[in-house]
Structure 1
Amino acid sequence: MSSSSIFDVNIDNVRELLAASQQQPVVFLFWSAQSQESLQLDKQLSQRIGKAKGLLLLARVNCDEQQQMAMQFGIQALPTTLIIKDGQPVDGFAGPLDDKALDDKLAAYLPKAEDELLQQALVLLNEAKQQEAFPLLSDALQLAPERVDIKLLLADCAVELGQLEQAEALLATVLLQDQDADFKAVQSKLALAKEAADTPEIQALETALASTPDDMLLKEQLAIQYQQVKRSAEALELLYGILRQDLNFSESKKRYLDILAALPKGDPVASQYRRKLYSLLY
C-alpha cells in the first residue's frame, strides 16, 4: 500500500477491496513490471487517484506475482483495468489510454462539482443555515441549470430568506413534467409566505404613498415594513429612489447598506443594488 487510496493486492486483502467497492468505486489495475505500458498506466492512475481524496481507490495487481488471481479475473492481456462497483465490474479497458481518455473514463465515477456543492448545502440546510447554503446552491445551479432538484432546493431556501420574487422566478422555469410533490410543496410554501408578507401596515402605507408618491418619509417607512417581512428587493428599490434625490435623507443610506449586508453572498438582488449605489456614489 503506497497511500490511503492505493493498494497492492494480494490474497489476503482482495476480498476487503472488493467489499470497499460498496462505498466507492475501486479501480483494479492488472499490470506487470515487464510491460512498459503497464508501468506508464500505473503512473497515470496513481497520480489521478492519489488526488481523488478517497473518492476512488486503486487496487494494483502485480500479475508477475499474482498469476492465479489474474486468471480468476479472466485477464488475457496486460495492462488491463477493471472498475469495480458494488462488488461487480462496471467498466474497464485493455491496454493504455492517453491522459484525456483516462480522465474522461475516471470522471464518470467521480462526484460532479455541483454534487459536491449540493452535499455541502444540504449539511447547512439541516442545521438551518439557509444564509450559508444559498450561495452554494446558486453556484451548483450555475454549473447544472437543468437540475430540478437543485433548483427546488434553491427556491425553498429563497423562500426561507424572504427572497420571494427570486423563488417565484425559479419555480417558473420548472417544466410541467417536473412539477412533482416537491415542486408543489415549495409552491405552497411560497404562496403562504407571500400572503404573510402583505401586512395591514404595508397595505396602509402603500395606499398613502399612492396618494403622495413623492413623500420620501413615507417611502422610507414603507421600505422598513418591506424589510421586516424580507421583501428586500422592494425595500431597496424604494430606498434607492430616495437616495437618487437625496443621498443624506434621514437613515435611508444606512438602511440600504444594512439590507445589502443581510442578503446572502452571491444574491443577485444584492449585486444589482450594490451596483446602483456605486453609480450614485462614484
Structure 2
Amino acid sequence: MNAVNHVVEVSVENFQAEVAEKSKQVPVLLEFYADGAEPSQQLAPLLRRLADEYQGKFILARVDIQQNQQLVQQLGVRTLPTVKVIFEGQMLENLEGSIEEPRLRQVLEQITMSPMERVREQLNVFLDAGDRNNAIEMLQKVIAEEPNNYALHSELCDLLILEGRVDEAKQIIASLPPDSEGINKPKTRLEFLDAAASLASVTELSASVEAQPEDIQARFDLALALIVDEQVEPALEQLLIILKQDREWQEQMARKTMIKIFDLLGAGNIVATAYRRKMFTFLH
C-alpha cells in the first residue's frame, strides 16, 4: 500500500466516508494543519513518514483548518498542531501542541496492535506479575472464541504444565495437530519433567556435585532438576560447566539441552541471549 492510499485530505464533504466509516476498520489520525504555520510544517513530515512506515495500519487524514472552519469548531480544535486519534468511531486520543516522535510511536503501537498482539500483551502483563492463573483463564476464554488458533493452545499447555496441571496439558496436546505452532515448547517442558521425575531433590543433587565436581552425570542431573524447579539460569550455568569439562559428553548433550532451554525462554529473552553468547564464545 503506498502513501496515496493511506494519506487523505479531509473536508466536511468527505469526513463521514474518510474518517467515520474508515475508522471502523483501521485507526485514523486526524491532523489539523495550516499552510505556512511553523508548528504544522514541523509535524507534517513526521506524520507522513510514519504513515508510510506503518504501511496502511492507520490512515493519516489531514484537515486544513483555513478551509474547514466547521470541522475545527465541531471537533474543538484550539491550537496547532492538533492530532486526534479516531478508532471504531470513537476518539481515543487528543494530542495538542508540541508532539514528539516517541509519544506518537507509543500511541501508534497501541492502536495498531492486532487482536492477537493485544492478547499476548495482556498475557505478558499477567506472567510478568507471576499471575499464571489469570493468564490461563484469559487464554481459555480467547480459545473458546478462536478454537482453531493452535498457538494459543500451545501457550495454554505450557502454562498448565508450569502450574502442575500436567494431565490437562497432555490431553490438549494429544488433540492438537502435530505441527501446531508453538507445540514444541510444552512438549519440551514435558520431556524435562519426565527426565527429572526419578531424580533426587535440588538440594541433594547440589551436595553430590559439590562432593564430586568431576561427575558430569551428577551435574547434568542437577541441571535437569533446576530446570523443572524453574531455576533456569543456574541450570544453564551447570550445563556451561559441563561444556567446559567435556563438550562431547553424551553426544553434546549439554549443548543440545541449552538450546532446548533457549527455545523455552523464547526469542529476545535476556537470559537466553546472554547464555547463547557464552555458549557460542566457548564453542568457537
User: Counterpart of 1:258?
Assistant: 256
Shift of 1:8: 1.4
| Distance in 1 (alpha carbons) for counterparts of 2:29 and 2:210 | 72
User: Counterpart of 1:144?
Assistant: none
Shift of 1:256: 1.7
1:275 equivalent among 270, 274, 278: 278
3-state SS in 1 of match to 2:107: coil
3-state SS in 2 of match to 1:261: helix
2:22 equivalent among 20, 23, 44: 20
Shift of 1:150: 1.0
Shift of 1:60: 1.6
Contact 1:3-1:50 within 8 A present in 2 as well: no
Contact 1:243-1:253 within 8 A present in 2 as well: no
Amino-acid identity (%)? 18
Of stretches 74-83 and 40-49 in structure 1, the one that deviates more from structure 2 is 74-83
Larger Rg: 1
User: Counterpart of 2:163?
Assistant: 190
3-state SS in 2 of match to 1:109: helix
| Distance in 1 (alpha carbons) for counterparts of 2:31 and 2:242 | 68
User: Counterpart of 2:148?
Assistant: none
| Distance in 2 (alpha carbons) for counterparts of 1:196 and 1:6 | 57
Opposite residue 253 of structure 2, the aligned amino acid is R
- 1:247 corresponds to 2:246: yes
User: Counterpart of 2:109?
Assistant: 111
CA deviations on 1:39-93 (whole Å, 9 max, x unpaired) are: 5543443233333333432212335554555555465777654333332444446
User: Counterpart of 1:136?
Assistant: none
User: Counterpart of 2:10?
Assistant: 9
Contact 1:29-1:79 within 8 A present in 2 as well: yes
Contact 1:84-1:90 within 8 A present in 2 as well: yes
User: Counterpart of 1:60?
Assistant: 62
| Distance in 1 (alpha carbons) for counterparts of 2:281 and 2:222 | 25
Q: Which runs of 4+ in 1 moved over 6 A?
A: 76-79, 232-235
Contact 1:239-1:253 within 8 A present in 2 as well: no
Residue correspondence of structure 1 range 124-273 to structure 2 within 5 A = 149-150=123-124, 152-153=126-127, 174=130, 181-182=134-135, 186=159, 189-192=162-165, 198-200=196-198, 202-203=199-200, 210=208, 214=212, 219-220=216-217, 223=220, 231=228, 247=246, 251-252=249-250, 254-264=252-262, 265=267, 266=269, 268=271, 271-272=274-275
Shift of 1:260: 2.4
User: Counterpart of 2:52?
Assistant: 50
- CA gap of 1:220–1:107, structure 2 versus 1, over 3 A, is same
2:84 equivalent among 57, 82, 85: 82
| Distance in 1 (alpha carbons) for counterparts of 2:48 and 2:209 | 73
| Contiguous gaps of at least 5 residues in structure 1 | 123-146, 154-169
Shift of 1:15: 1.4
Of stretches 182-191 and 259-268 in structure 1, the one that deviates more from structure 2 is 182-191
Q: Give the TM-score of the pair, scaled to structure 2.
A: 0.51
Contact 1:216-1:242 within 8 A present in 2 as well: no
CA deviations on 1:209-266 (whole Å, 9 max, x unpaired) are: 959954966x42773797599657777666656666x537x72572222222333254
Contact 2:209-2:218 within 8 A present in 1 as well: no
- CA gap of 1:255–1:233, structure 2 versus 1, over 3 A, is farther
Give the number of aligned pairs. Answer: 223
3-state SS in 2 of match to 1:191: coil
Opposite residue 275 of structure 1, the aligned amino acid is K
CA deviations on 1:183-227 (whole Å, 9 max, x unpaired) are: 799487433569756423x349x79x959954966x427737975
Opposite residue 247 of structure 1, the aligned amino acid is D
CA deviations on 1:5-50 (whole Å, 9 max, x unpaired) are: 2111245532122122234432223444465654554344323333
Of stretches 5-14 and 26-35 in structure 1, the one that deviates more from structure 2 is 26-35
3-state SS in 1 of match to 2:108: coil
Aligned-pair RMSD on alpha carbons?
A: 5.3
| Distance in 2 (alpha carbons) for counterparts of 1:215 and 1:41 | 64
| Distance in 2 (alpha carbons) for counterparts of 1:211 and 1:46 | 61
Opposite residue 31 of structure 2, the aligned amino acid is L
Opposite residue 163 of structure 2, the aligned amino acid is L
| Distance in 2 (alpha carbons) for counterparts of 1:121 and 1:57 | 24
